[in-house]
């Protein structure tokens, strides 16, 4: 056992990472049992809710505040992780092995089991220092199914009286690692659309030149969509102050069609992942997509597999917001560089933002390659422990606002 693995917090993180709560068809039982042990160790009450059904548990660990009537602080994370290709990993993806450089290799080490455990470790550190309670109540929440849009998780939960009774005044959730020495607080998220084009055309023998085939129409749609992608790339390259959160991103993610090499398919399906900036014209974009379908030759259906509405920014990053002032001041006292931006992706807190609840996305991971959903996902031990210290100080400030 390395010196790192003798650290209680590292041991707990490894134990959590070794639970293979991986899509598809996750059994969350082991996660819930693990979290029950953590609540007992912290001497804090735990409740489990099932708004999305009996196999979709939501775990809430609560530290009651001195003034529980004040809006609470919600520290959110998710228990699920995305699938892996084990043959592409240099370490088993659910072994949580630590190499000689102090890197913890595991699916969920960045996204985002580590953050859920950092929340609990920060509470443990505060209690160890003799803090009986902070001014505001803190709810540490663990969600299912975030990686598949949280429909039976957070989306269901926010409609319940159980959620409303939490009286959330601020929610923290995951952000993105920084490859440099900065830390980023994301005050808003993009809007996510999954757009599926169902393209129809004549079928026939592969030796003939049929007119207006699904393949020709796909070419037109693909060129138009990739033009949008290139515009975003150009904007990023031409403006150093611009980040991924400031542009519309687009990727072709699924293509289906055809049954045999010599048969022209009557239908081809193409799905695109769009992450749209906070200033995007959603109505204008949808109109443009439908126009391109007609220009391509018609007989193309558009299916929005996900079509979120534009979500207003709910977190004020001005000096009139005591939460933001406290966040900035704490990071300054720790000697850390802080910037703010729009999150390039989306998370569970979009459902809170839809209700007007202030939310910040934040992952305390500086000088760390961005490996969420990637092979060989890892987080350094020293980065993880530094994150605990950061949350300890942040909570001591914002939960006392």
3-state DSSP percent of the chain in helix, strand and coil, to 5: 35, 25, 40
Residue with tokens 């920084």: 178
Q: How far apart, in whole angstroms, are the C-alpha atoms of residue 398 and residue 400?
A: 5
Whole-number CA gyration radius for the chain: 23
The answer to whether 383 and 366 have CB atoms below 8 angstroms apart is yes
Encoded tokens for 354 = 């839809």
Residues 6+ apart with CB under 8 A from 164: none
Residue with tokens 């933002």: 353
Q: Please count the CA atoms within 13 angstroms of the CA of 26 that sit on its side-chain side.
A: 26
Q: Which of 291, 250, 294 is nearest to 271 (CA)?
A: 250
Encoded tokens for 373 = 């959903």
**Catalytic site includes residue 281:** no
Q: Calculate the alpha carbon distances from 248 to 60, 128, 277, 350 in Å.
A: 34, 45, 5, 17
Residue with tokens 């030149």: 209
Q: Please count the CA atoms within 13 angstroms of the CA of 46 that sit on its side-chain side.
A: 19
Q: How far apart, in whole angstroms, are the C-alpha atoms of residue 16 and residue 59?
A: 14
Annotated catalytic residue within 146, 173, 174, 246: 146
Residues 6+ apart with CB under 8 A from 130: none
Annotated catalytic residue within 9, 80, 111, 348: 80
Q: What are residue 171's phi and psi, to 5 degrees?
A: -125, 135
The answer to whether 17 and 106 have CB atoms below 8 angstroms apart is yes
Encoded tokens for 224 = 């138009």
Q: How far apart, in whole angstroms, are the C-alpha atoms of residue 157 and residue 31?
A: 18
Q: Calculate the alpha carbon distances from 371 to 39, 98, 237 in Å.
A: 29, 16, 22
**Catalytic site includes residue 80:** yes
Q: Which of 386, 398, 399, 400 is nearest to 121 (CA)?
A: 386
Catalytic residues: 80, 146
């Amino acid at each position: 056992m390395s010196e790192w693995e003798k650290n209680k917090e590292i041991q707990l993180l490894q134990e959590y990472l070794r639970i293979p709560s991986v899509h598809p068809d996750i059994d969350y039982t082991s996660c819930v049992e693990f979290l029950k042990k953590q609540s007992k160790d912290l001497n804090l009450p735990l409740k489990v809710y099932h708004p999305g059904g009996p196999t979709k548990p939501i775990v809430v660990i609560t530290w009651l505040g001195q003034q529980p009537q004040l809006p609470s602080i919600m520290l959110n994370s998710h228990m699920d992780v995305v699938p892996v290709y084990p043959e592409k990993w240099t370490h088993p993806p659910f072994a949580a092995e630590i190499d000689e450089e102090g890197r913890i290799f595991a699916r969920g080490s960045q996204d985002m089991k580590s953050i859920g455990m950092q929340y609990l470790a920060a509470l443990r550190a505060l209690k160890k220092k003799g803090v009986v309670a902070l001014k505001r109540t803190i709810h540490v929440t663990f969600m299912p199914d975030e990686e598949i849009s949280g429909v039976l998780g957070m989306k269901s939960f926010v409609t319940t009286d159980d959620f409303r009774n939490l009286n959330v005044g601020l929610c923290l959730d995951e952000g993105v690692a920084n490859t440099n020495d900065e830390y980023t607080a994301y005050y808003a998220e993009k809007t996510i659309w999954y757009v599926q084009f169902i393209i129809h055309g004549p079928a026939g023998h592969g030796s003939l030149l049929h007119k207006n085939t699904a393949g020709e129409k796909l070419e037109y749609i693909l060129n138009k969509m990739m033009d949008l992608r290139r515009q975003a790339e150009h904007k990023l390259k031409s403006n150093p102050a611009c980040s991924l959160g400031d542009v519309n991103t687009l990727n072709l993610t699924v293509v289906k069609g055809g049954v045999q090499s010599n048969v022209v398919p009557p239908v081809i399906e193409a799905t695109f992942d769009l992450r749209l900036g906070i200033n995007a014209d959603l109505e204008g974009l949808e109109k443009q997509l439908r126009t391109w379908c007609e220009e391509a030759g018609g007989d193309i259906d558009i299916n929005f597999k996900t079509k979120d509405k534009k979500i207003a920014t709910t977190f004020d990053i001005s000096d009139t917001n005591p939460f933001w002032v406290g966040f900035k001041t704490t990071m300054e006292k720790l000697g850390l560089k802080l910037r703010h931006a729009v999150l390039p992706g989306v998370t569970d807190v979009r459902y809170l933002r839809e209700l007007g609840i202030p939310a910040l996305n934040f992952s305390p991971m500086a000088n760390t390659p961005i490996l969420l959903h990637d092979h060989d996902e890892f987080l350094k031990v020293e980065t993880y422990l530094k994150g605990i210290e950061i949350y300890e100080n942040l909570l001591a400030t914002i939960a006392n606002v």
